[in-house]
Every structure is written in structure tokens, then in C-alpha cells.
Chains A and B, each alone.
Chain A
Amino acid sequence: MAKTTADPKPAPPLTGDRRRTWKDVKDPSESPRPGVPEGLWQKCPTCEATTYRKQVEDNLSVCTECDHHYRVGADTRVSQLVDPGSFEPLWDNLSPMDPLKFVDRITYKERYEKAQKQTGHNDALLAGKAFIKGRGVVIAIMNTDFMMASMGSVVGEKITRAIELATDLDRPMIILCAGGGARMQEATLAVSQMIKTSAALARHGDAGGLYISVLTDPTTGGTAASFAMLGDVILAEHKAMIGFTGARVIANTVRQELPEGFQTAEFLLEKGFVDRVVHRKDLRSEIAIIIDYAGK
């Protein structure tokens, strides 16, 4: 999994029932950019330009200088991607269980409860019905703010339900993929979600449904090796990190330097595993065009 160096603390969820406080932007345990004051200004990890935070956010969280795409949480994604007010969230009540009673340094329960408190969501995926440029879709968005969008039973179940809904409604299925892969704290149950979601996509495909997969930074592990790579059309955000095994593990295994740009969206485009690399501002129109050609 990629380090979260570059990432400024993304905006808090726009739930509307609370004001943004300093706590939301400041996490004392992580200080990704020493020397740069938190909040108003941020330093781009690619071009190192100091940019006004608000301006970058207005620019869809893309650096105004060099087009670096910041990671954004699922709530922000919704506001950026679908027609305003059209998102109808579904199955938000589903919440993780801890059947393994998993404990590492802290318990799994503590981990997900902390994330639930921080994000205001029950797990790392938003799913629901929505419209994109007036075209009806079923959409699932993985939330990198929640345990790095790792896939446990809830994420798998919601994606599967969303796909089944898309099949039933005869609507295109859109998944914004992200995350470090299957959630270790759910062990085999998490691996099984790869199977379950892929099986649902097989049925969606058999029914003639369109599935557009959008790969965002980072898409790795079990997420990549299941629904992310099964899109009829696969779009990827500029410079997104996409791969099966993390670069560090590969470097340790093969003991040689990794090629320039290894596992970026552009690398996958060159190797033939991605249809189009898109700028975040074009995502809506790209999806709309594909639906016009291939959707029903």
C-alpha cells in the first residue's frame, strides 16, 4: 500500500449537521508535511508549489499548478461527480461485524469505530442511485478516508447489492475503485468478497449491463484483482497508483530497481490494462459519453 505522505487531510464529510473544526483538518499523529502550516495553504507533493487550499478544492482537488490529483473522500466524490442532489444513498445502515475478534495492536472494533466517528459513515463505501449528466446510473464509491477503503464484508455486500440493483433496473453500473485491497481484519471473509463481487458482475454482464470502472489513487490488492479490473470500460485518473502487489513488496522480492512510473495509470495504459486515462474534470463527460454508446 502506498504511503499517505502527500495527502493533506481531506475535507470532512459534508453531512451538514456539524461545522468544520480544527480537529477535522489536523491529525496530530500524522504530520505529512513538516514545516508547512496546516489549513489554509498546502504544498503539492508533485510540484511542491504552495497553493491556497480553497482554490485547490474548488478545482476538484487537483493542483492548480501541475494537475496533481489529490485523494478525495467519498462525500466529496459524490459532490464532484453526480448531478447535484441526485444521489440517493442505499444500505447505509450496514455496519461491520467482528466475527474474528481481531486484535493487533488495537482491536478491529476500535479501529472501525474510530473511522466511523471520523467519517460519519458505517463503512468504506457509499452506494446508491444517481444521475450523471442526466443519465441514470447505480454508483458505488469507495471511501479512502475510512480505513484506506479496505474491502471487508460490508463493502463487498454493498457493491454486490448495487450491481444486482443495476442489473434489475437495467442501468449502467459505475464503481469508483480505490483502496489497499481486502481488509486484513476480516481475513478470509474479505477475500471472499472478491469472489462475490466478481460473480455479481458476471451476471450483470450476462444480462447485457454496462459496467464502467474508474480507478483512482490507489487501487491495489484485492480491489484491483476483482471488480476494478473487470470494467467493460476502465477509466483511470491521471497518475493514480494501480497494481496488485505494493511496490515495496515487489522491490523487496525482485531486488532490483522498479521502472520509472511503475504501476501508475499511464503505465497501465501503456501495458493495455486501462482504456483511458482521464483528468478529474473530464470524468463526468467521459462517463456520459460511454453510457450514450454502450448503455441502455
Chain B
Amino acid sequence: MPQASDAYTGTFELEFERPLLALERQISELEAQADPNQSAVGLDPKLDFTADLKKLRQSHTAMLKKIYKGLGAWNTVQVSRHPNRPQTVDYINAFVKNFTELHGDRFYGDDPAIIAGFGRIGPHKCCIIGHHKGKNVKEKIACHFGCAHPEGYRKALRVMKLAEKFGLPVVTLVDTPGAYPGIGSEERGQAEAIAVNLREMSRLKVPIVSVVIGEGGSGGAIGIGVADRLAMLQYSWYSVISPEGCAAILWKIANPENNAKAADAMKVRAQDNLKLGTIDDVIPEPMGSAYRYRQQMYDTLEKYIIERLRELKRFKKPENLVAKRYQRLRKLGQISG
């Protein structure tokens, strides 16, 4: 499994966070000034930065709160794609003990865009499956930025079947812009691979907990996202198509303005999906989203998964669990008449 590298050190900035980042730079400069070990000109004992720092920090917190409180749909999509946002590997390294990755679909190959294996979360032995977007350029290209091929979905299913055989619950972490659109993926049956996963996950005899941790792009997302409990992190998105794709089709051209309109129209945010009844829970993120306070995010997610698995383990008979899951899936959709 690719090792989670340290926090992203690049200079990526979200447009709407610019004033915030400027403030952060001011704070760190002032902190450096105040630190006798770092100050270039030496510390002048007469100067006291504490009051200024406190003021700056306060306004930083206020601004952070203000920006994130009313975060629009398109900005949410941008946050969900932030290069420093924790990915499946980060969560696995953070709270899955003894993760043992399993490779290959036994038919064609091994798709690095999906990670699957045994592991222990809290007291629960389980199988963990998740999309892998890649941490650096090389990895990102190898796993097509998290767009899985049919062999990825078939590997996921193989591991789920193992979980079923050995009575282990399944935890899936969804983070993909969509299934890979390519010649090979069509030739090897992208549609069939996803369809079979939907059918088999709906009748898997062990509990399934799914969490959208970043992007939940259509068929590529639900290919590992049929579950007893489906949750989304607060600043992730889940919809039928990416906002860019929707804009290109309905507005004929994908530009930032149309993308924002499309994201708004499709109600891609977690709280909107909760209202539509397509997900069960929204998992709150730390103030200023997961990439700012990663450890806090890991802890919240770990706690959520442990809690849900404990609830679902109450089903002693697998038939009851599957029947309950069908009831949940059966309710999806809104119609009149």
C-alpha cells in the first residue's frame, strides 16, 4: 500500500480562502518574530507581540467560521478536492490496525485506484475498501486520480465475498470523481462490474458501512457504496455526475460560473443529500474542513465507524440484516402519485 506522506507542502490555495491564508501568513510571521530562536534581528525585550497575536488569531477564527458556515455547493466541491484533504490511505494509517492489503481481481489485474484488505478498527475485525486518488504525481497517474477500472470493482467484490465468508463487516471509504472513462475499461465491462457490485452488495450477509470522504461521483462511487449505513463527511459531495460534467451537458460549456450553477442545482452537499434521504448521516468536520485539523478528523471518523459497526453487529441473523438493508434501499427516491 502506498504510504501516506506527510502533510501537503505545496502552495495550493483555494480562491475563497485567500484572505484567510494571508492572515495565517501574518500570524506565522509574527510568531517567528516573537520567537527568540527564529527572529532574524534578535528579540527586542521591549516589544510584546502577545496582544497582537491574540487579536490576529481571534480574527482568523472568526473569518474561518464565517467562510465555512455558509460554504456553497461549488466551494464544497473545491474543498473536497483539496490536495491536503485526508485520503483513504491516511485514514487507514491513522486508525486501522494491522492493515493487510489484498491485491488483484483474479481475472485481469490489480487496480491501484481501489485499496482493499483486512484490518482492525477499534475492537472490530473487518474488511476495508476505499478509493485511492494518489498522493504524488506518479501515484495519481497510476491510479487515474481515483477513477477505478472494472478490475478495481471486481477486486472490491472479491474482498467483500471474503468478508462474507469469514463473517467480517465491511467498511468502504468513497472518494472518486467517477469510474474511469477509457477504452480498456469499456472493453472489460465497466458497466457490468458496477452493476454486479450493486446487486451483490445489496445481499451481502455482513454489515456494510460506507462513508463518502471526499468525492462521491455517480456510478463510480456507489460501485462500493451500497450499505446499511451511508454517511458523508460534512464537506464532501455526492451526486449523479460531477458539476463540470453536468455543466458541459446542460449549460453546453463547463466554466467556473456554470460549474457553480450545476453544483447548486444538483444539491451535491452532504446536508442536501441528508434532506433528500439518500444518505443516513452527516459526519461533522473540524472547523475549516478536514485538511486543517487532520487528527481531529481521523478521531471523529474512527468513532463513527466503531459506533455504527457496534449497532449493526446486533443483527444475529444475516437474513434480518439483509432484509433491513433492502428496506432502506427500497425507500430511495421521491415520486408523486
Using Cβ atoms and an 8 Å threshold, which residues of chain B touch A102?
265-266
Q: Does B52 make an interface contact (CB < 8 A)?
A: no
Q: Mark A218-236, 1 if CB is under 8 A from B, else 0.
A: 0001101111111000000
Give the contact stretch, choosing among A3-11, A37-45, A72-80, A149-157: A149-157
- The reply to whether A192 and B333 form a contact with Cβ atoms under 8 Å apart is yes
Residues from 180 to 236 in A contacting B, C-beta threshold 8 Å: 182-184, 186-196, 198-203, 205-206, 221-222, 224-230
For A193, give its contact among B186, B246, B333 (CB under 8 Å): B333
- The reply to whether A97 and B334 form a contact with Cβ atoms under 8 Å apart is yes
For A153, give its contact among B183, B325, B333 (CB under 8 Å): B333
- The reply to whether A230 and B199 form a contact with Cβ atoms under 8 Å apart is yes
Known: A95-B335, A122-B337. A191 touches B218 (CB 8 A): yes
- The reply to whether A195 and B335 form a contact with Cβ atoms under 8 Å apart is no
- The reply to whether A271 and B187 form a contact with Cβ atoms under 8 Å apart is yes
Nearest CB of A to B249, in Å = 7
Give the contact stretch, choosing among A22-30, A136-144, A250-258: A250-258
Q: Mark A49-73, 1 if CB is under 8 A from B, else 0.
A: 0000000000000000000000000
Using Cβ atoms and an 8 Å threshold, which residues of chain A touch B226?
195, 198-199
With the chains together, A102 CA to B204 CA distance in Å?
35
Select from chain A the residue with minimum beta-carbon distance to B265: A102
With the chains together, A93 CA to B337 CA distance in Å?
6
Q: Does A47 make an interface contact (CB < 8 A)?
A: no
Main secondary structure of the interface of B (DSSP, over half): helix
For B329, give its contact among A103, A189, A199, A273 (CB under 8 Å): A199
- The reply to whether B240 and A263 form a contact with Cβ atoms under 8 Å apart is no
> Could you list 22 examples of A-B contacts with CB < 8 Å?
A93-B337, A95-B335, A103-B265, A104-B261, A105-B251, A122-B337, A182-B240, A184-B241, A187-B267, A189-B278, A191-B219, A198-B198, A199-B226, A199-B326, A225-B191, A226-B195, A229-B189, A229-B192, A244-B191, A244-B219, A262-B183, A271-B187
For B191, give its contact among A96, A156, A229 (CB under 8 Å): A229
With the chains together, A284 CA to B276 CA distance in Å?
40
- Counting residue pairs across A and B whose Cβ atoms lie within 8 Å, the total is 192
Q: How many residues of A contact B (CB 8 A)?
A: 66
- The reply to whether A229 and B332 form a contact with Cβ atoms under 8 Å apart is no
Using Cβ atoms and an 8 Å threshold, which residues of chain A touch B333?
152-154, 156-157, 189, 192-193, 196
**Which interface residue of A199, A203, A205, A221 has the most chain B CB atoms within 10 A?**
A199
- The reply to whether B190 and A244 form a contact with Cβ atoms under 8 Å apart is yes
With the chains together, A94 CA to B219 CA distance in Å?
25
Nearest CB of A to B333, in Å = 3
- The reply to whether A226 and B198 form a contact with Cβ atoms under 8 Å apart is yes
- The reply to whether A94 and B335 form a contact with Cβ atoms under 8 Å apart is yes
Select from chain B the residue with minimum beta-carbon distance to A183: B240
Q: Does B203 make an interface contact (CB < 8 A)?
A: yes
Using Cβ atoms and an 8 Å threshold, which residues of chain A touch B181?
244-245, 249-250, 253-254
Nearest CB of A to B122, in Å = 28
Q: How many residues of B contact A (CB 8 A)?
A: 54
Using Cβ atoms and an 8 Å threshold, which residues of chain A touch B334?
97, 99, 153, 189
With the chains together, A228 CA to B181 CA distance in Å?
18
Q: Which residues of A contact B (CB under 8 A)?
A: 1, 93-97, 99-100, 102-105, 122, 152-154, 156-157, 160, 182-184, 186-196, 198-203, 205-206, 221-222, 224-230, 242-245, 249-250, 253-254, 256, 258-259, 262-263, 271-273
Q: Does B194 make an interface contact (CB < 8 A)?
A: yes
Nearest CB of B to A229, in Å = 4
User: Which 9 pairs of residues, A with B, have the shortest CB-CB distance?
Assistant: A153-B333, A199-B202, A192-B332, A245-B181, A198-B198, A224-B191, A104-B250, A244-B191, A229-B195
Given contacts A100-B265, A225-B219, 18 further A-B contacts (CB under 8 A): A94-B335, A96-B336, A99-B276, A99-B334, A182-B240, A188-B273, A195-B202, A195-B226, A195-B329, A201-B199, A221-B219, A222-B240, A224-B195, A242-B191, A243-B186, A244-B190, A250-B183, A263-B186
